[in-house]
Amino acid sequence: MSVYRTQLTLRNKDVNLYRRLRTSALFELLQEVSIRHTEELGAGRALTLDRGFLWMVTMQRAEIGRMPEYDERVTVETWPGETMHLLFPRYYRLLDEAGHVLVSASAIWGLVDRESRRMIFPDRYGIAITGEVTGHEIALPTPIKKAEGELAASFTVPYSYLDLNGHMNNTRYFDLAEDHIPAPAEGRRLTGISAEYVSEARLGDRIALTVEQTEQDFILSGDTDKRVFRMRLRYE
């Protein structure tokens, strides 16, 4: 069974002032293990990036029982689901040293042509990943409604937020979101996340961030002249 596992100990750079794993750091970790496993499965740089194809995540979802804390050692697992035409589902788990599940997550990835910025048909280029079923899969993410709340910020994408795909990295949206809602600074515990990346934000783009608060959730929308991202964060 093709399940990638790695262990790490959380350091100062990984956690927030409450010593819990930062939301953006969680998704940085999931992004990194996705890349490592894809390389192992033979669909890494030589077959993709070096041929002008970029891996991009389109949607993410996470269920959080407990965020791991500073100096805690965790195991990260990831495995692919069955490819859906143009899309590559992927699943994740974070476990503590006793084997208890801390976080379960899922994501949908796609391959984009670097020049046209359009998704490619992977089978036309000999790119294939065999899916696995472990019994630990959570539901895949689904689209999120636009927030109808008030404008919370107008943010200009800086150079430091760009990644090798030439756009604002998806993990930075979590920092942007949590800087403009009260729950994280109040120390409330994050229990669920859904995120949808609709289009790219490039250097100098100005993002209008809208926030709507419901009884349990914060729903955020980021837009330039078009939709960029949607996000739902649930705290207890």
Distance CA 233, CA 127 (A): 34
Distance CA 173, CA 178 (A): 9
Distance CA 87, CA 58 (A): 9
- Classify residue 133: in a domain, yes or no: no
pLDDT at 80 (0 to 100): 97
The beta-strand segments (E) located in the chain are 4-9, 53-64, 73-80, 87-95, 101-113, 150-156, 190-197, 206-213, 217-223, 227-235
Amino acid, single-letter form, for residue 97 = E
pLDDT at 178 (0 to 100): 96
CATH number of the domain where residue 59 is located: 3.10.129.10
- Classify residue 101: in a domain, yes or no: yes
Residues 194 and 87 in one domain: no
Residues 101 and 34 in one domain: yes
pLDDT at 1 (0 to 100): 67
Residues 64 and 176 in one domain: no
DSSP 214: -
pLDDT at 60 (0 to 100): 98
Low-confidence ranges of the chain (pLDDT < 50): none
The model's pTM: 0.95
- Classify residue 87: in a domain, yes or no: yes
Task: Tell me which residue range forms the domain holding 197.
Answer: 150-235
Distance CA 96, CA 217 (A): 27
**Total domain count, the chain:** 2
Residues 175 and 227 in one domain: yes
Residues 94 and 174 in one domain: no
pLDDT at 88 (0 to 100): 97
Residues 46 and 117 in one domain: yes
pLDDT at 148 (0 to 100): 83
